[in-house]
Amino acid sequence: MQEIFQAIASGQKAKVIGLLKRDPNLFQSLTEEGITPVLFSLYYGKLDISKEIYEISPSRNLFEAVALGDLEETKRLISKSTDVVNFLSADGWSALHLASYFGHLEIAKFLIFSGADLSLTSKSKLSYGNTALHSAVATGKKEVVELLLEKGADSNSLQNPGEITPLHIAASRSGSGDIIRLLLKKERIKS
C-alpha cells in the first residue's frame, strides 16, 4: 500500500497533508481498486482527513463531491455533462449510490432530477449488484429511502450474489423498524 494510503488508514492527518503538499501528484494517487485519497479516507471513517484533502485538492471529481455532500460542486460537475450522472466510479458505485449511502438527501434529489437511474446496480467488489435503495437501507438513511421509494425505486430489487433485497438488509440491522415499515408499505401499495 502506498505511503499516502497507509497514513490515511492510520489516521495521521498531519502526515497526509504534509505528503500532499510536498508532492501534489499524490492527489491523483489511486489504490489498486482505483480509489482516490478523498474517498479512501471517507471509506476508512476519517471524515476530517477526507474533508481536508478535498478542500486543498486542485481538482475534484463527481464521486468525491457527492460522497462529501458538496451540492454546489455536484451541480457544477453535472452541468458540464449530464451523462456522468450514471457513470460508475472506479470502485463500482454511481453518484446516487454514494449520495444514498452517505445520506445526502438534497444531492440524491438533484441526481434523480438530472436523470440518475434508480435501478442501476453497483459493480463494487464489496457489494456487487446493489441499487441506491440497498445503499440507503444499509446505512439507515430513512429520508433517502423515502425519496427513492417515492421516485419509483424497486423495493424487491435483488443484490447479486445472494439475491438480497433491501428488506433483507433492513431486517438484518438493529434499529431499522421505520425503514422496514416503509419497505413493507411500498409492497402493500404495489399489490
pLDDT band of residue 190 (cuts 50, 70, 90) is low
Q: What b/e string do you get for 82-110 counting C-beta neighbours within 10 Å, with b at 16 or more?
A: eeebeebbebbbbbbbbbbbbbbbebbbb
How does pLDDT run across 5-35, given as a tens digit for each residue?
Answer: 999 999 999 999 999 999 999 999 999 999 9
pLDDT at residue 174, as a whole number: 82
pLDDT at residue 161, as a whole number: 62
Average pLDDT of the chain, as a whole number: 92
First to last CA, the chain: 51
How does pLDDT run across 73-132, given as a tens digit for each residue?
Answer: 999 999 988 889 999 999 999 999 999 999 999 999 999 999 999 999 999 877 778 999
**Domain locations in the chain?**
1-59
138: closest CA among 123, 159, 110? 159
**Architecture of the 1-59 domain:** Alpha Horseshoe (1.25)
Residue 43 to residue 154: CA distance in whole angstroms: 26
| CB atoms inside a 10 Å sphere around CB 168 | 15
Q: Please state whether the predicted TM-score (pTM) of the whole model is above 0.95.
A: no
